[in-house]
Amino acid sequence: MTISLILRRTLLAASLGALSFTAAADALSDIKAAKKIRVGIDLGAPFYGYLDEKMTPVGSDVDAARLLAKDLGVELEIVNTTNSARIPNLLSNKADLIISSLSITPERQKAVDFSIPYGAIQAAVGAPKSLKLTGIEDLAGKTVAVTRGGPQDKIVTERAPQAKVVRFDDEAASITAAATGQADIVAITPPIIAAIAKRNPSREFEVKFILQSYQLGVAMRKGEPALMAAVNGWIKTNLANGKLNEIHVKHAGVPIPKEIVEGAN
């Protein structure tokens, strides 16, 4: 056998191996074959994901993940994660998707791909009614609690450099800190500020001002066109038929912003 023939056969085998690897790397096919989709959700984020009194996962992201699994005809496996571990869990293949109040940012888009927006999240500052805070400049010299790795962490760190930022690993810990008086000011979402007020009404927690609004997306590993098409189609369908909005209203008490719904058309 000539060297050139050996080389051609080697290259052919390598090409076939590459094709097999590409096929094996099709996440949607793998999900359908396993009849199960693993979705990473932070279960320490009331409104979005948390455990009820029966230790059952509930929340808007939980309901959205259940709806997605049902529409795909597969079983849902919830992979409990923390705010800062959402993308690492995806990249390490512990989850197929992340549906966990994950805002679409250019920095995150370098590591993962995002679906079209399925909702929106606001970054807000909350504090007891007695504290006068009207803008981010009022945070100078004050201690502000944030959830590590969340958008509020980045905003406060960059735009209020004179504030002392205290980071908690998940939103449940941030709620506890605010409700028990360990923290007087939190940068988090309005529904969670409402949860703090509900946990300890005597603290009279309220939204002081909105920092920024972010679009939420479903995150997946890069290079998954079939999975991306399936998820985007699912979002468009369930924004149009109102099912995702029903979930949002159920848990947040307000509808999905109009621009998100119209943008999916």
Q: Cα separation of 178 and 145, whole Å?
A: 8
- Using alpha carbons, select from 221, 248, 216 the residue that is nearest to residue 47: 248
Question: H helices of the chain, where?
Answer: 3-24, 27-34, 60-72, 86-91, 106-109, 151-159, 171-179, 190-199, 225-240, 243-252, 258-263
Say what the pLDDT of residue 254 is.
Answer: 76
Say what the pLDDT of residue 3 is.
Answer: 40
Q: Cα separation of 152 and 134, whole Å?
A: 16
Say what the pLDDT of residue 29 is.
Answer: 96
- Using alpha carbons, select from 102, 56, 121, 64 the residue that is nearest to residue 247: 64
What global pTM score does this model have?
A: 0.70
Say what the pLDDT of residue 15 is.
Answer: 44
Q: Which residues of the chain have pLDDT under 70?
A: 1-25
Say what the pLDDT of residue 25 is.
Answer: 60
Alpha carbon distances (Å) from 112 to 20, 52, 57, 150:
23, 31, 25, 16
pLDDT of 81-112, one tens digit each? Answer: 998 899 999 999 999 999 999 999 999 999 99
Say what the pLDDT of residue 11 is.
Answer: 38
Alpha carbon distances (Å) from 176 to 56, 147, 179, 242:
20, 12, 5, 34
